[in-house]
Amino acid sequence: MYFKMLKLKLLNTIAPAYFFTATVVTFALHFYFFIPTIFDRPGARPSASTLLHAAIFLFLMLNALGNYVMTIRYPAESANESVVPVCSPDCPDRVDAHYLLNDRHFCKLCKKVILKRDHHCFFTGNCIGNKNMRYFIMFCIYTSGTCLYSLVLGVAYLTVEYSISFENPLTFLTLLPLSIGYFFLGAVSGLQFFLVLMLYVWLGIGLTCAGFCCQQVLLVARGQTWCQVWKGHLVEARSSWRANLSDVFGSRWVLGLFVPVQTVEAQLADEKKHE
């Protein structure tokens, strides 16, 4: 049990570092390689296409980072919880959360009681629950959008810079294994091999985040959490799907689609807490 928790704590540290590293690398590739090579002409001023693609990329990335910060800044723990349960060493829960009553869980990694706990997100280093579910969903949406947009521009860059044709669908499937072989033979540069590797990283992260987003929206609409599904506690939704979505996305849901802002309901709750 001790080694299991140690591995989880290590993952809790490595995952955010991986996310920020991938973010910095993606930003650098876009503005130092992709956009100047694909859209700019040597010696000419930045074109309208350059500015448009730069604006689209910044919009996607800033929203992903903004919602990432909001997910961490507004955690899902219960501020009024006075009794913290003690989990037995042989607690069988594979998600490392001890189930309490009334949709409350004690997370052994966060060491806090979480309201309506869905799961522990290692990329943010905290639990996802009722207070930060909306930010987590928007983080998944914009991270997926950023990765898939980067994938498209990465393919375009390889086509322009290295004359790699992607007309055959099998080209992308065989690109990584062939690049590995050619790299060790010295036929492919380190930069080209790194770009190919990043294409697969973006594809993997983009599809994973898109899957997470669809799963979370479906669970929210049903009024359920992943913890309940995992434990087999499939309760019937007490409210309509519209009410369940409104409870998570709040009254500023339209604005929240474009800007990572705090919900009105969360602001009122914070004001009450500080009164």
**Within a domain: 267:** no
User: What is the model's pLDDT at position 114?
Assistant: 84
Q: For residue 108, give both structure tokens.
A: 């052994």
**Within a domain: 31:** yes
Q: Which of 107, 110, 121, 140 is catalytic?
A: 121
User: What is the model's pLDDT at position 213?
Assistant: 95
3-state secondary structure of 220: helix
**Within a domain: 269:** no
**Within a domain: 60:** yes
User: Which helix or strand (DSSP H or E) is residue 11 part of?
Assistant: helix 2-29
- CA-CA distance, 8 to 6, in Å (whole number)? 5
**Within a domain: 263:** no
User: What is the model's pLDDT at position 137?
Assistant: 95
User: What is the model's pLDDT at position 271?
Assistant: 45
Amino acid at 16: P
Q: For residue 59, give both structure tokens.
A: 């919009």
3-state secondary structure of 107: strand
**Within a domain: 270:** no
- CA-CA distance, 156 to 224, in Å (whole number)? 41
User: What is the model's pLDDT at position 83?
Assistant: 54
**Within a domain: 271:** no
- Give ∠ CA 122-234-127 in degrees, rounded to 5: 20
* Burial class of 161 by CB neighbour count within 10 A (0 to 12, 13 to 18, 19+): middle
Confirm whether 121 is a catalytic residue: yes
- Give ∠ CA 81-67-210 in degrees, rounded to 5: 105
Say if CB 70 and CB 262 are below 8 A apart: yes
User: What is the model's pLDDT at position 95?
Assistant: 47
* Number of domains within the chain: 1
**DSSP 8-class letter at 121:** E
Q: For residue 179, give both structure tokens.
A: 């690049």
**Within a domain: 146:** yes
- Give ∠ CA 189-155-55 in degrees, rounded to 5: 115
Say if CB 25 and CB 31 are below 8 A apart: no
Amino acid at 175: L
Domain extent, residue 49, equals 1-81+95-258
The rounded average pLDDT for each run of 10 residues, N- to C-terminus, in the chain (275 residues) is 79 92 96 90 78 95 95 80 53 55 75 84 90 93 97 95 88 92 91 95 96 93 83 69 84 83 60 48
- CA-CA distance, 128 to 214, in Å (whole number)? 15
